[in-house]
Structures are given as structure tokens and as C-alpha cells.
Structure 1
């Protein structure tokens, strides 16, 4: 039996599947990653600053102009998102995603933790009101109170949501199989979630390049899109 066949068998047998997803799950939908030669960071001298709390508060124009480039409202869920939703028909599928593009939600997945937040969830930093993303993409000033509007994503210099952390840990502890898909799994603390799985729970990794993981795992090298097409 090939590694691909073993991975598929493990997925089909597990009653509780927890999936950790990264940029490689969204690139087939036309959303660029961050650090590749075609990614949004390419050619920028200090991209982390443009997505920092300091930039938001001190140079909101600069933050806003860069932040708007991250939006792809026309993007639709691809076969990976759709297959994960379909798997809910006969098992619990928990998804913890680094992605901020809401495509898992668009596909209809029930149990999703946006570990780094969601670009399409915007709010006013002054009055706290929720602001439709369409309004934010027209102006970052709240038309009702004049406050600064921002997306509810975790910027550099900011802490993660405690709710996202606690829900993610719970999803890891209840998993019968952990799958890591479309990520190099190097971003901390996202990558540290693996330590919360039970010791006997297997791990399947689907990624274009092998990842560095202390845990024993079944590595399927290739695109997540190809893997899920045949799942």
C-alpha cells in the first residue's frame, strides 16, 4: 500500500479528524501565499511592519493600502475546502486554519477556528461596532463615529485570541487523526498545537515539501489539491 493510500485509509477510518491548514490550501483558489516568489511579501523590504499594530495606529494609510491587497472576495472554495465539508457527512471534522480568507466558512464547514482571525470580520476600534467588509474596503474611517476600522486579524505585536487557543487545543485533544495540509508548519505558536494531540493519534502531512516535525508522521509529498481530488 502506498503512502497516499495509507493516508486515505486513515482519513476514512477516523471518526474525529482535526485538520491544520495553511496557505497551500488557498492558493488553488487564486489567493497568493506570503513568502514565495509570487507571494504578497515578495519585493517588499519590511512586509511585517505593514501588518503590524504599530503601522495600523501610526500610519493607517500605509496599513490600509497594503491590507486591501490581501482581499480576494471573488475567490471560491476549491476541492480541498469542498472535500473537507463533504467528510462531515460521516465524521466530525475540526479545522484549525492559519488562513484569514474565510474559504472554509464559505464551503460550509461547521467547526472552524480562524487561528489568526478573519479579514472579512471588521470592526471599529473606537465604538466597537461591527462594520461590513464592503464599507471597510471603501474607507477605514467609520462613517458613524469617525473611528478607525480594522479587520479582526492578529497583527504583528498582537496576541492571539484566547478563545481561538482554547478551541484549538480542545480540537487537538479530541482528534483520532491529525492532518496537516498545505503548510510548512513553521509559524509559532500554530506549529506548537501538535503537542496537544494524544500520543497514540497518527499524523498525516500533505504538503509540497516535507516538513520538520518531531512527531512520527506519514508524509505525502505533493499538492493538497491533487490529494483531495482523489480522496
Structure 2
């Protein structure tokens, strides 16, 4: 199996999504479009503005994995699944997921742009500057104006192409190139959607407008029919 997931799998952990009616892009009280604050241009031209925005709006260090993430992680630990996620919140890592492809990176991988040194979240929360050399720190996430890591993109394509079953969970599938991953599935492979809003996607085998937490709470990872 391959799980294709988005912000909807993290909302039960208290992390707001981006594109719903109550999402960051809709409710953000900003002078400029939210996309600007999450762009390479903002990071380069106004690093303090970028830092303040991401610290205020993206980091939820107290959040814990929910049942969706822990059950999906359990399937990967049993070598029965891979996860390709748009999420950058580190919850899959906390859940112990294997075969994990973080398409847009991870907020908690933070490095100095000057020397490449990696620092932890608490260091970044204290300052956007790397004290030894004064370099500006940044999270290892894909910003607007930046490309997907080619190795991650290829691994994600390979996962989808070799899947026997694809489950789309908690994502609108509107953001490219992530949404384009479906183009690499084998034509005979079933695609199942578990989402709170209906998706208009070609080739969907079954679609369930349900709360994914209820679905995954009932799944038994060890059962051969799952």
C-alpha cells in the first residue's frame, strides 16, 4: 500500500490545515498573500519576516501523532506500506514511520545556510542566526519558488508506481507536483479516498467522506485482510 496524505491527517493533532475554510491561507491576517511569507523570496529578502511568520504559524512542538499516523506508521513498520506525505510537521517521524517520503520536507530539520550545520528546534526557536558564524538558519522545507528534492520526488514516484493499493487520506490533491503522483500508478491499481470532502479525481475506485480517525481507529494492522 501507499498512503498519499496531507494536512487533514494532522488536524486531529491540533495542527491547522492550509486550504480549508479555517485554514492558514484563508484566515491568515497578513498584509501580503500567505504564499509570499512561505516563499524563497521572503527568506532571502526579508529573513526576519520569514522567521517570525513560520515560528508563529507553522510550529506546534507540543503536537503528538494521532491514530491515523500511528496506524499508518505501524503498516510501514510491518513492511506493508509506504507513506508519501505533503506534511512537514514531523509527526510521522515521531510515530516511527518507515518507508516515509516527506515530499515537502520537514520543519524540524533545520540547517545553517552559510555552513550547512544542522541545529535542533530549540536552537532555532531561540534565534534565526547560527551563533558560530552568523549564518541564517532555515527549515529544510520546500518553499514557493523552490523545487522538490529530486531524490525525494523519484522515491515518491517509485512508491506509487509499485503500489498494489493507493489510499488518499486528508488531502485535497490540488497541489502540484504532489497531485501529479497519481499519474505514475499502474492502471489496474485501485485508488481509495478517505477524506472529509469529496475529490473530483479520475480513476478513483472508492471514495468515503468520513473522519479518517474513525476509520484508522478500527483498522487492525496485523489482520491479513487489511
TM-score, length-scaled by structure 1: 0.90
Supply the distance in 2 between the matched residues of 1:210 and 1:20 (Cα, whole angstroms).
Answer: 15
> 2:163 corresponds to which residue?
175
Mapping of residues 122-141 of structure 1, within 5 Å: 122-141=110-129
Higher relative contact order (CA 8 A, sep 6+): 1
Supply the distance in 2 between the matched residues of 1:150 and 1:85 (Cα, whole angstroms).
Answer: 27
Among 14, 31, 34, which residue is 2:15 paired with?
31
1:4-23 CA deviation, whole Å, 9 max, x = no partner? xxxxxxxxxxxxx1000001
C-alpha displacement at 1:222, in angstroms? Answer: 1.4
Residues 1:128 and 1:89: Cα distance change in structure 2 (over 3 Å): closer
1:145 aligns with 2:133: yes
1:161 aligns with 2:145: no
1:141-189 CA deviation, whole Å, 9 max, x = no partner? 1101101100000000111100110100110111110000001111011
Residues 1:218 and 1:144: Cα distance change in structure 2 (over 3 Å): same
> 2:85 corresponds to which residue?
97
1:173-222 CA deviation, whole Å, 9 max, x = no partner? 11110000001111011000001111111011000011121123210111
> 1:219 corresponds to which residue?
207
1:65-110 CA deviation, whole Å, 9 max, x = no partner? 1110210111000000111122246542100000000111110111
C-alpha displacement at 1:35, in angstroms? Answer: 2.4
> 1:59 corresponds to which residue?
46
> 1:207 corresponds to which residue?
195
Gaps of 5+ in 2: 220-226
> 1:48 corresponds to which residue?
35
Secondary structure of the 2:50 match is helix
Secondary structure of the 2:64 match is coil
Gaps of 5+ in 1: 1-16
Contact 2:40/2:145 (<8 A) preserved = yes
Secondary structure of the 1:168 match is helix
> 2:216 corresponds to which residue?
228
Among 181, 184, 192, which residue is 1:193 paired with?
181
Contact 2:68/2:217 (<8 A) preserved = yes
> 2:5 corresponds to which residue?
21
Supply the distance in 1 between the matched residues of 2:119 and 2:79 (Cα, whole angstroms).
Answer: 35
Supply the distance in 1 between the matched residues of 2:136 and 2:110 (Cα, whole angstroms).
Answer: 11
C-alpha displacement at 1:40, in angstroms? Answer: 2.2
> 2:224 corresponds to which residue?
none
1:78 aligns with 2:66: yes
> 1:120 corresponds to which residue?
108
Contact 2:109/2:139 (<8 A) preserved = yes
Secondary structure of the 2:4 match is strand
Superposition RMSD in Å: 1.2
Secondary structure of the 1:92 match is coil
